[in-house]
Chain A
Amino acid sequence: MEYKASILVVDDEKSFWEVVAEGFELRGYRVVAAMSGEECIEKIKTDTFHIILLDLQMPGMGGIRTLEEIRKMNPEIEVIMVTGHGDIALATESLKKGASDFVEKPISIERLVNTVEKVCEQRMLRETVLLYELSKVIFSTIELDKLLKIIIDLTMKVLRADDASIMLFNEKKELYIAISSGLDLDIQKRTRLAIGERIAGWAAQNKEPLILINGLRDDGRFSDFKGRSEIQSAMIVPLLKNDEVIGVLNANRIKLTENFTQNDIYKSKIFISLVSLALDNANLYNNFKNAQEKLEATHMQLVQSEKLSSLGRLVSEMAHEVLNPLMVISGNAQLILMEGAQTDQVSKELKVIIDEAMKAKEILQRLLKFARTNKANLRKADIGQVVESVALLVERQFAANKIVIRQSYAKDLPHVHIDDKQIEEVCMNILNNARDAMPDGGVMEILAVRDGDRVRVDFKDNGCGMPDEVKERVFEPFMTTKEKGTGLGLSVCYGIMKAHNGDLKVESRQGAGTTISVYLPCMKG
């Protein structure tokens, strides 16, 4: 049954509260009675009230002291003082101490109802304004990081918590701590919960808020939350979007001795729904942003490969156009040579023509090798061994250039499917570039690790690095900074890595060195 509000009537006169109870129950309120200040305090601990009608003059703990106690425990309950005739001075004092209003005995039930309704209206208005203010703040940003910070601050204020945290789901559908005001970073990073696991997981699974009193101390499920035994009471609320859980909000009271009650859950409902909505918005925005970034990356890759393939076509067509004339040149020279009617000098010169034509053919062939999409001849291999063999090959030469090679291969590196000749070519190319980047010597670090479902080999030099404009074009054919370079090395490497369903990435800062990372998919099974 829904009540307009819950009223606690505190009066030592039974006849008084019986009349009041009847009057209010008829009007749709729930009424509970307490015969003394002490009983009132006990009732507040276990039940939820919106309004307390408090007699000023009671034996034992008087009205004023009871009011003070109520305020300490819960500043949000509306207290209306019921005063005897001539208690104006005390009534005024009670207003100063936080009572909402007072009524004088003898009571007219209509007046009392009016007063209660007025107080309820004021309260609703206050709450509405507060929610409006909250929503303004919550919806002031759509960026997840900023929003989480705002929510944590608001949670501590609105729920009067000493610390708070928000758990969200990662891609594996595990809860992780997205933000926390109290937990240290290490616990934050380590904590991953499956739905249903531990208390936050339970709240997420059951889609029900939860209150724990001294719970962390006694609950074995929180055993690895070391140092959290100081928590007095905790509120764990699932954040729902429609009927789907998008996260969990945890609020803890440490210094405040008043425990969370069902009333806190009730009161925070709208706040929580605002939080859920804002988080959902931020999530959508975040997903959108990620998708956009991915799209941009794909686009870049497409542009890159399009550039390469159109260049490949160009080279291939150009070669055809040039190779035929070269054949005509060298062929005619050979025909003249064949006649044998020329002087030795002319023969020599004809041979130069023929030789140069053949040289031109070789250059074109090298270009075409790049333009051709070579099918890789894949075999199962240990990438560590392949890289090591290339490192061994260049070791002496590097030593002569005062370059030290340091190698580190993770144990249990998964096997890869590669054309080892091609991958050797890639490594060799990268190492040669690194050597050229360290003319005065340096350190070449080679590191092979597993990186998700790929193997990554980093080639890190501490050479001259490259400026951004070079970095951006580093895989472009004919892009070179070397006097004698063809600018095909890294383009060929890039093509090879793509043919292996792998990748090649460059990190570089001018003056600080370059790291080229080779990615290869792990062999399945």
Chain B
Amino acid sequence: MHTIMVVDDNAKIRAILEEFFSRSGFTVVPASSGKEAVDILRKGTVPNLVILDIKMSHGSGLDVMYEMRRMGITPPAILLTGTIDAGKYADMLEKLGFSEENIYYKPIDLFVLLDLVKKRLGLV
């Protein structure tokens, strides 16, 4: 079974994603901030894919990606954001080898997201 880490500081969105992906047959590891996500990763959890909010109060999605890169873990990542000035992060994303096209904007159709996840995991 694939493990998806869902990082979002909005508890309701986290709950929706957790519920949806569990029902869709995934193991979901939720984290309420970038900081919590990094702590979980440090304790040895290695997810097959991460879904990251960009702007959060403690540690952004980009911080998480940067940490993972340092730890040598590079699961596929989907950035899910409510701020649409992703252009602001373009430089940082480029350094992380991440193209702007992998950013998705809330609200997203959950089934569209599911397709994306399956694609990234090579399940389809």
Contact = CB atoms under 8 A, between A and B. Distances in A.
A90 interface: no
Contact of A323 (B16, B106, B109): B106
Interface string A426-467: 000000000000000000000000000000000000000000
Interface of A: 316, 319-320, 323-324, 326-332, 334-335, 338, 354, 357-358, 361, 364-365, 368, 371-372, 374-375
Interface residues of B, number: 21
Contacts of A335: 16, 19-20, 23, 110
A361 B104 CA distance: 12
Contacts of B19: 335
A338 B22 CA distance: 12
B16 A328 contact: yes
Given A323-B82, A328-B16, 19 more contacts: A319-B83, A320-B82, A323-B106, A327-B10, A327-B13, A327-B16, A327-B82, A327-B108, A328-B13, A330-B110, A331-B13, A331-B17, A331-B110, A334-B109, A338-B110, A364-B84, A365-B84, A368-B85, A372-B87
Interface of B: 10, 12-13, 16-17, 19-20, 23, 55, 82-85, 87, 105-111
A496 to B, nearest CB: 15
A328 B82 CA distance: 12
Given A320-B83, A334-B20, A368-B84, A358 B55 contact: no
B23 A327 contact: no
23 contacts: A319-B83, A320-B82, A323-B106, A323-B107, A324-B10, A326-B106, A327-B106, A327-B108, A328-B10, A328-B12, A329-B107, A330-B110, A331-B17, A331-B107, A331-B110, A335-B20, A338-B23, A338-B110, A358-B109, A361-B107, A368-B85, A372-B87, A374-B87
Nearest to B13: A327
A338 B105 CA distance: 21
Nearest to B86: A372
Contacts of B83: 316, 319-320
Nearest to A312: B85
Contacts of A324: 10, 13, 82, 106
A334 B110 contact: yes
A358 B112 CA distance: 13
A329 B12 CA distance: 10
Interface residue SS majority, chain A: helix
A375 B108 CA distance: 26
A201 B13 CA distance: 80
Chain A CB count within 10 A is highest, among B10, B13, B83, B84, for B84
A375 B85 CA distance: 12
A132 to B, nearest CB: 70
Contacts of B87: 372, 374-375
Chain B CB count within 10 A is highest, among A323, A364, A374, for A323
Contacts of B85: 316, 368, 371-372
A331 B82 contact: no
Contacts of B12: 328, 331
A324 B109 CA distance: 13
B109 A354 contact: yes
Given A320-B55, A368-B85, A326 B20 contact: no
The 10 closest A-B pairs by CB, nearest first: A331-B16, A327-B107, A323-B82, A327-B106, A368-B84, A326-B107, A330-B107, A328-B12, A334-B110, A320-B82
A115 to B, nearest CB: 94
A330 B111 CA distance: 11
A324 B55 CA distance: 12
Contacts of B16: 327-328, 331-332, 335
A306 to B, nearest CB: 18
Given A316-B85, A372-B85, A323 B13 contact: no
A331 B20 contact: yes
Contacts of A338: 20, 23, 110
A297 to B, nearest CB: 30
Contacts of A364: 84
A326 B16 CA distance: 12
